Amino acid sequence: MPLDLPYFFTMVNDFEINATGRSEDLVANPLRYGLRIADEPEPVTLVIFGATGDLTRKKLIPALFSLFANGNISNFKVVGFARRGWSEDYFRDYVLKIINESVLSKAPESLKREFLGKCFYISSTFESEKGYQSIKEIFPLPKNRVFYLATPPVAYEKIITRLGETGLSDEGESKKFFSRIIVEKPFGNDLDSAKRLNSILNRYFKESQIFRIDHYLGKETVQNIMVLRFGNGIFEPIWNNRYVDHVQITVAEKEGIGTRGNYYDKSGALRDIVQNHMMQLLSLVAMEPPIDLRPDTIRDEKVKVLESIKPIPFELLTRETVRGQYSRGIVDGEEVPGYREEENVSPDSTTETFVALRVFLDSWRWAGVPFYLRTGKRMSRRITEIAIQFKNPPHILFREQSLSNTIPNSLVMRIQPDEAVTISINSKIPGYTLEMRPVNMSFRYGSTFGEDPPEAYERLLLDVMNGDSTLYTRRDEIEASWRFITEILEGWGKLGERELPQYRAGSSGPDEAKKLLSLEGRRWRKL
């Protein structure tokens, strides 16, 4: 693969000096005029807690090497921090193996060697103060630090506390250097635990230092939702309850839970997907236009959406929500076990692997418009998409000719796979009669640009180093989302095994989910 080293820096944090050559960010330097400069990250030490785990192997090391190989970062250290008694050399061999198995495996050996020279390892438990002291002593520079919690959530509190106690969270009075922390999902498992985790974080870190990651927001197509809505003039005027009949958000996976039984059986689809990824998609699709692109301006608008979600009380639970659990079935031609037969899953588990919700937003724009959310494992197809279903024309002129053959217009934003935006319209079929049929106008990312977008983690890591929190979730977003989710979880807890239909692996979910829409004369989009 050719290694294209970009010379233009990303537009992240760009500022453009106005015509007078002045900017609030700078002492007026007339040479800056017209130079779109994204400030390269300052020198930084990135400490990865859980450096021997899956996330580091699959995402973090490949992303960091890609950023380095593309010239986005140059002055940095990566410090792996984990329990295993590895030596530095062993860790570097491990990192090299990861690079050699990544898409950048063909990068020049000299580049790989240079990257390895920036990798270090501390073998320590997460409790031991000594390990944290050695971060300070062995790696005093770069003094800017980013701590990545790539560990199971159970370790978060210990690590955060130790970072605070050893002064590693301090940015100093003058703030000449930074200390930032990235917290992976799951961020809590209900509202109380999320609040508690936020409190622990806030004990030692200010909100501006905390970066709660949701890798969905790093995906190019998720970012494109805002561009599509606010970068084009034709959509916003119809993006409201006057023209939109309903919205469907689908995150369907073909995979089962794999080796994640221990985690998943305590979590379930509502916590694993809806609370974070789907709530983020919902807020991006329903938010009001922000007045600018500053992180907090955007997040202010997103949190308004989350706070406007109508709660689903227990008495409405079975009407507005459907959960399900996959049973044995066939996926991609292969027989797969049912959920309760999976490794590390209780045989009488009531954990949901499928969720469908009908959600309403208490807002002027969206009053009366249902948002249907569905996610599931072991579905017939892997697909993530948002479909805006528009209302029929107020007067159906062609009723007799083609009523059965037409569909309401829809705009579908497919997030993965084959990222695309498709608008379906009705068109006349060539011939002497006035017959109509639906046709699609499609824009496919992969069919338009020949380049693969950067991996989500690359963008997100670069943003942290640059201090840009736009694509990270803020405390109030997390808590608003958990507030809605926790009420459902508590209701399901009361229901126990009741109302937990099974669905065949390889299907599109339980029949009950279909009723959620069919009672209103609507139906789910085909998977």
Partner 1 sequence: MNGIVSPVEIEKQLKLTLERQSDKGVIGTRTSLFNLVIFKRAFVPGPSDSALDFLLGKRPARIIHVDCGYPDDTRVSVFARCYPDRRDRTVCFEEVLINNGRDGKGIDPGMWSPILIHDLPTYLWWLKELVPIPEDFLNALEYGDKMLIYSSFNERVYNENPRLIFKGIAQLIEDEKEIPVIIDFSWVRLFALRKFIARLFDERVDALYGIREIAVKNLQRSEALLLFFWFASRLDWRGGKIDDDFISFRDKKNREVLLRHEVVGSMESGVKIDFSFEGFPKLSIGCDSLGCMEEERSNERVQFKIPGEGEILLREVDSLMHDDAYYEAIRVTLEME
Q: Does 27 bind partner 1 (CB under 8 A)?
A: yes
Report in angstroms how near the CB of residue 304 gets to partner 1 at its nearest. 33
Stretches 19-27, 85-93, 273-281, 377-385: which one binds partner 1 (CB under 8 A)? 19-27
Cβ burial, residue 398 (10 Å; 0-12/13-18/19+): middle
Angle CA 317–318–321, to nearest 5: 70
Number of H helices, E strands in the chain: 18, 18
Which DSSP string corresponds to 152-199?
Answer: -GGGHHHHHHHHHHTTTT---TT--S-EEEEEPSP--SSHHHHHHHHH
Q: Which stretch binds partner 1 (CB under 8 A): 6-14, 159-167, 361-369, 378-386?
A: 6-14
Q: Which of 48, 43, 105 is nearest to 74 (CA)?
A: 43
CB of 80 to partner 1, least distance (A): 25
Q: Which of 77, 56, 27 is nearest to 465 (CA)?
A: 77
Rounded alpha-carbon distances, angstroms, from residue 182 to 45, 457, 463, 486:
13, 12, 11, 24
Q: Does 230 bind partner 1 (CB under 8 A)?
A: no
Q: What are the tokens at 500? A: 């937990």
Residue 393 within binding range of partner 1, rule CB under 8 A: no
Selected binder of partner 1 within 18, 259, 448, 518 (CB under 8 A): 448
Question: Which residues between 450 and 489 bind partner 1 (CB under 8 A)?
Answer: 450-452
Catalytic residue among 215, 246, 277, 395: 277
# residues near partner 1 by CB under 8 A = 27
Helix or strand (DSSP H, E) at 489: helix 475-495
Compare residues 315 and 451 and give the one whose CB is closer to partner 1.
451
Binding flags for partner 1, 55-94, as an x/- string (CB under 8 A): ----------------x--x--------------------
Cross-strand bridge partners of residue 145:
45, 179
Q: Of the candidates 26, 138, 293, 441, which one interacts with partner 1 according to CB under 8 A?
A: 26
In the region spanning residues 31 to 60, those forming contacts with partner 1, defined by CB under 8 A, are 31-35, 37, 40
Is 395 among the catalytic positions? no
- Minimum Å gap between C-beta 425 and partner 1 is 18
Of residues 408 and 467, the one with the C-beta less far from partner 1: 467
For partner 1, give the closer residue by CB, 72 or 508: 72
Q: At residue 98, what are phi and psi to the nearest 5 degrees?
A: -60, -45
Identify the residue whose tokens are 């002492």: 27
Which residues contact partner 1 by CB under 8 A? 4-8, 21, 26-35, 37, 40, 71, 74, 446-452
List residues with catalytic annotation.
Answer: 277
